[in-house]
Structure 1
Amino acid sequence: LVGGLLTVLGLGCVGPWLTVAGVRGSIRFERRRCRVGETIEAIVTTFGRSGMRGLGIVDGETGASLGPLDASPGGDRRLVLRPAARGRFPRMPPAVESDAPFGLVRARRALEVDRPVVVWPITVPVRFPAALVDAVRHGREVSDRVAGTAGDVLGVRPYRRGDTVRAIHWAHTARQDAVMVCERPGVGGPTVRVIVDRLAPPGLSDAVWSRTLDALVATAASLVESWVPRGIAVDLEWAGSAIHRPRTRRGLEAALDALACLEPATRADDVAHPVPSQPRPTDLDICLTTPGRRASFTGTRARALRAAGGWHPRLLVMVDPSGADLDRAPRGMRREDEIELVLPIDRPAATLDRLLAEIGHDPDAPRS
């Protein structure tokens, strides 16, 4: 009796490993990209033979069952998967699992992933604050064209509604007995710098910070995906990374791929001061951070850069992980020519869109 029991136990422990040892497989996806919550199809190809039953495919990260396999694996099997988080999917490859013949032990053998899928965050349309940008661009146009080195302005035209007083050419106004303004050369479209702060504020748990960073990434992705197709030049960056300047469809996809795979900062010394690596004049700077990191964007270092004509956080957007009451009344504060906004962690991009509507927006912009 004891010998028979030991035989059963031995077979129950060794059997699953012998089953999966004879099975090899791979998984490939028909799409390169998807969004959080979307369903994607995967093709699982298995090789090898086993006369034992109890084979199945399980999620490598959660262990959840994805479906059974035949007793004699071989050929292709289609699976429908639904990524629940941004980044590369799957984070851990699915595996072939067996508990045959008695269910005493479970053995797994990971499948090879031909090419992971990049899962983009869910985005919403965000209107562009054209009125805010126009106020910045007015004083930064190129200089007037003049005749020679000290001649008169070459380009003038009659006054039109909306022209400012500083554009009036007083000499020509006196000669023509009508208000004349300087006609400046046209400039390109607006340039926006979006900075994502990936350093956790002090006192925040890893789980809460991961959720907060996801909200920051989703907000940045919403801005980029809403504005780049409209011809707005967006510079996307975060400390420790090269600047992404998506100008084409392929560039936009690369920027969204980088955002989707953005990881939290691991060394505080590298990103303690989130200053752009290549400061250059822009029409609008949008800094995405948390209230606990506000001082890094408004402190002495930021003011020194502003005085030097470099980077300057004009629109400071902070996602508050503890601001449940912000769903109804998100906070906003205007200080000189800077605007600070505090958004809830749930649907921050949609809340930002509503606040930008109050600040000033382009009527032709998309709405959520």
Structure 2
Amino acid sequence: MPRRRMLTLRGTGALLAGIGCIVAANLVGAAILLYIGLLLLALTVFALIAVRAPRRSGSVTRQVSTDLITVSETSRVTLRFALRALRVPRGLWRDVLPDAVSGDAAGEYPPETGQLTYLLTGVRRGVWPIGPLMLRTVDPFGLAQREQAFGETRTVTVVPEVFTLSPLTVKVGAAGGTAQTSSSRLGQGSDNLSPRGYIPGDSMRRIHWRATAHRGQLMVRQEEEESSPDALVVLDRSAARWRKTEGEADPAFEAAVSLCASAAVHLMHEGYGVDVIDSAGALLGTLRGHEDDRDGLLVALALVTPRGDARDLAALVGGTPPGPLVYITGEIDEEDAALLRPAGAAAPMLFASGPLAGAAAAAAQHGWRVATLGDDIAGAWDDALPDRVSTAPVEPERSADGTR
């Protein structure tokens, strides 16, 4: 954050003019120029003392109207600024904002309402600091200025935008999209499953805490008694699929993250239990119908970046296939698409931001519904929906005489 100069442009001009008058007075022997020069220098020094000498301290508290700010969403920030000084200065305040958010975070001080407020809009997902609060004051002559920082920074989390998607045309999966199952392929079984002893390598998510407390040793749920999740969303964030950028967001990857969040939230609202993982098998979030689950997933997706390599999809799915399977990837060629097997999923949907020639056809041969992911996320979802199953009654054909 660049520091402002102590003198304004007017103050710098007054200082230079004063020095020039003193030099000219010595050259031409005009006493009036000497007086004018000394007056300008005295005014400049007085202005500096007036703005720099007073001791000021203060505290800042910020309150954001929403805990999580969605990309393109606007929230209100309220600042309470308690300034301790001999007198209340008049000047301009501004809150330091990163490029990832936008807002008119400036105004006159002191405000008429007694509070400092402004609107904040998310521009790029991530966790970003806002602040400190800067107070800029100028002397009555406009020659000197002082900008002082108050308070600490506060972080705001900008999460990907969640779009409204069209409903699935058919209900698929073990629960048919009508209930949230409590068990999970990733180790969330119900408490009445038969436990067994912990073996090194077992996931900590599979620990049966009630049985552990009863027996005094770590117990885990039986793997064969765990039911699969209703839906699975996979975000392929392997580095080879995405364009490398230096400090800038890749629009294709941002669209993929937004689709990942939208698809997971949409499937949850349709009644499915949803697991969201990346292409390496790391769990990004689980949705079982709770608002906290949704927020946890969005926070995880706010920080996700392209990295690593992808694992085989069949290994990610496991032995029991899910119902809806959403796979989101970037640039994919025909050979890579041919290796993507939906592993028995009832409704596999493949989204690629950069499918090369032959990739869509190769994936379709394995049963994928393929769509190209661009700016229109909802449109891409519609393109990949499974074929509609007609439920309307069929009207009998009429004979020539009008009878049925």
TM band (smaller chain)? 0.5 to 0.7
Instruction: Tell me the TM-score normalized by structure 1.
Output: 0.61
The 1:65–1:255 alpha-carbon spacing in structure 2 relative to 1, beyond 3 Å, is closer
In the alignment, structure 1 residue 82 sits paired with structure 2 residue 121: yes
Alpha-carbon distance, 1:216 to partner? 0.7
Aligned twin of 1:338: 367
Unmatched 5+ stretches in structure 2: 1-17, 20-37, 175-226, 392-404
Please tell me whether the aligned partners of residues 274 and 296 of structure 1 are also in contact (alpha carbons under 8 angstroms). no
Give runs of aligned pairs for residues 252-291 of structure 1, distance below 5 A. 252-259=294-301, 261-265=302-306, 268=307, 271-274=308-311, 279-280=317-318, 281-283=320-322, 284-291=324-331
Q: Distance in 1 between matches of 2:49 and 2:233?
A: 56
Equivalent in 280, 285, 288 of residue 247 of structure 1: 288
Partner-residue secondary structure (3-state), 1:360: coil
Partner-residue secondary structure (3-state), 1:315: strand
Q: Distance in 2 between matches of 1:4 and 1:321?
A: 74
Equivalent in 80, 83, 98 of residue 48 of structure 1: 83
Unmatched 5+ stretches in structure 1: 135-187, 323-330
Partner-residue secondary structure (3-state), 2:285: coil
In the alignment, structure 1 residue 220 sits paired with structure 2 residue 264: no
Q: Deviations over 1:16-45 (max 9, x none)?
A: 777896343121123223433333222201
Q: Distance in 2 between matches of 1:216 and 1:18?
A: 54
Higher RCO (C-alpha under 8 Å, 6+ residues apart): 1
Aligned twin of 1:193: 232
Greater Cα shift, 275-284 or 243-252: 275-284
The 1:132–1:10 alpha-carbon spacing in structure 2 relative to 1, beyond 3 Å, is farther
What one-letter code is carried by the residue in structure 1 that aligns with 2:300?
A
Please tell me whether the aligned partners of residues 77 and 118 of structure 2 are also in contact (alpha carbons under 8 angstroms). yes
The 1:198–1:15 alpha-carbon spacing in structure 2 relative to 1, beyond 3 Å, is farther
Q: Deviations over 1:110-148 (max 9, x none)?
A: 6435673554413122332537869xxxxxxxxxxxxxx
Q: Deviations over 1:303-340 (max 9, x none)?
A: 7xx8xx79999433112399xxxxxxxx9535332326
Aligned twin of 1:61: 98
Aligned twin of 2:397: none
Please tell me whether the aligned partners of residues 233 and 326 of structure 2 are also in contact (alpha carbons under 8 angstroms). yes
Please tell me whether the aligned partners of residues 62 and 79 of structure 2 are also in contact (alpha carbons under 8 angstroms). yes
Q: Distance in 2 between matches of 1:133 and 1:208?
A: 39
Across the aligned residues of Structure 1 and Structure 2, the Cα RMSD in angstroms comes to 4.5
The 1:97–1:344 alpha-carbon spacing in structure 2 relative to 1, beyond 3 Å, is farther
Give runs of aligned pairs for residues 1-368 of structure 1, distance below 5 A. 1-2=18-19, 22-50=57-85, 51=87, 52-62=89-99, 65-71=104-110, 76-88=115-127, 90-93=128-131, 95-98=133-136, 100-101=138-139, 102=142, 107=147, 109=149, 111-112=151-152, 116-128=156-168, 130=170, 191-200=230-239, 201=241, 204-206=244-246, 209-238=249-278, 239=280, 241-249=282-290, 250-259=292-301, 261-265=302-306, 268=307, 271-274=308-311, 279-280=317-318, 281-283=320-322, 284-292=324-332, 298-299=338-339, 314-320=348-354, 332-333=360-361, 334-339=363-368, 341-348=370-377, 350-357=378-385, 359-361=386-388
Count of residues paired in the alignment: 290
Alpha-carbon distance, 1:223 to partner? 0.8
Q: Distance in 2 between matches of 1:363 and 1:36?
A: 37
